[in-house]
Structure 1
Amino acid sequence: MSATSKTPTLTVQDIRARKGGDPIVSLTAYTTPMAQLMDDHCDFVLVGDSVGMVLHGLPSTLGVTMDMMILHGKAVARGLERALMVVDMPFGSYETCPADAFANAARLMAETGAGAVKLEGGVEMADTIAFLVKRGIPVMAHIGLTPQSVNVFGGYKVQGRGNAGDALMADAHAVAEAGAFAVVLEKIPASLADKITAAIDIPTIGIGASAGCDGQVLVVDDMLGLFAAFKPKFVKRYANLAEQAQAAIADYTTDVRARSFPADEHVFADDTGDTK
């Protein structure tokens, strides 16, 4: 499909309007080639702070910086013509006060061309979300298991079981009322995700939540089998590209050591007419 025949870039309003409609499809991306592969398929592409773990070998998302998010945001933007790009605000860039959050969110959007930012937190972040939205920064919220708070949670544990479900419902209402255009629900019981989806008027995006959410998001390296450090229960592997890559690298190694690569078709002749 040519660039001129593609539909116009999807907007925050388009995602918001999908509440209760066709499921919203999303994946993370950190590079231009990956963004190009998913542009025709995803409604929004998330430049996730999971880039710290997936591409930079960090133990968690906490070490991700603004400069890292901007670098990868710019790369992803070059690969998108249709899907909305949402960029994660990294740990420490929005928690201190709404004014700091605005300055950092404005920088992210200005330097990457993002259509929206995503930040973690519920009731406690409602004032910040409202502050940003009133000043022209579209916000996707994120509640449930919020990876930037993993040290508080004591690990990547399911959130919202039992009485804790009431707090997550309150979080969902708070971010919706503050003006978030959508909310990610991560690693919460399916029944709670369904209740939240029915209770609020903005789309819910599940990751380890429920098929009843208004949409789904996964880390692309997880679903392609490229990131093997651990496999959450909620990840479905649609391919195992790591095994294929390892096999290809092994074949290449064998060929190089046997001097069968490069072969005649891979090298250049003395004839000056050989320009390919």
Structure 2
Amino acid sequence: MNDIEQLLNTLPRIYTPLNQNEGTGIPNPHVFNIENSQLKNEFSTSFHNLEPSIVQDLLKEVPKLKEWPYFSGEEEYDHMEFIRGIDMIKEEFELPDRLVTARFKTLFTKSAHRWYLKLRQAHEHQSWTWWKTQIINKWANDSWRFKVEKSFESAKFHADKDKALPWFFQKKDILTELYPDMSEFMIHRKILRQCGGDSEHAVKSKTTEQSSAEDIINILEEVTTRTKIGSSRVNLIKRFNTPCKDSVDKNPKENSNNFKYKYEDTVRE
């Protein structure tokens, strides 16, 4: 009996003891039925150089399908999240490509599902690297990059409504995708420019070129929560206490109008 035949005979026994409904005709949704799965051939190809006991341990650790990232192709950044998620699982559990790509029929949903079926029919089995390239070419094209760059530049940090940690890492993920060769220091500096004025200056004054993303986030949280720098209330007070040039002594009514316009500008921000 060769390695492949031995593996195929071993794999069903891995899951048989777990199936409490065996013999009743009732499928167990928590059991992966290798005998009836299209992955049977995938296992035979991917693991033919491994001992059955190693395969058994590997399969026990693989996350359930519902714990894998799904990809619809209809959200602005979901292709980035999908690629990162698959890369992480593949690396963490040292999974062969065929075990990963065989799940795509389920993991791809909506528009991405139709796209996947068309490419799968045309190109048959391909590596995860190949699929990753196709996803990037389709969803991270020049039009997407231009739109994301414009969105990045216009999305400023607002201490009143933005939480530092998710805001910072979302911006970092975008810049890493757009500029893969940009240094981490320059990425952090580019993100801090989106904080604007006092917040940017306060954080920069407390960080160095060696500061990590976590260091910067902690400082940004401290600056915005303790000093309230970057909040609309502080900006309003600051603007109110800074009179317009040549308007203070000439016309009190005009001063009042100036404050009104400043207040409206602050609200819109």
TM-score bin, normalised by smaller chain: under 0.3
Greater strand proportion: 1
Provide the TM-score with structure 2 as the length reference.
0.25
> Which has the larger Rg?
2
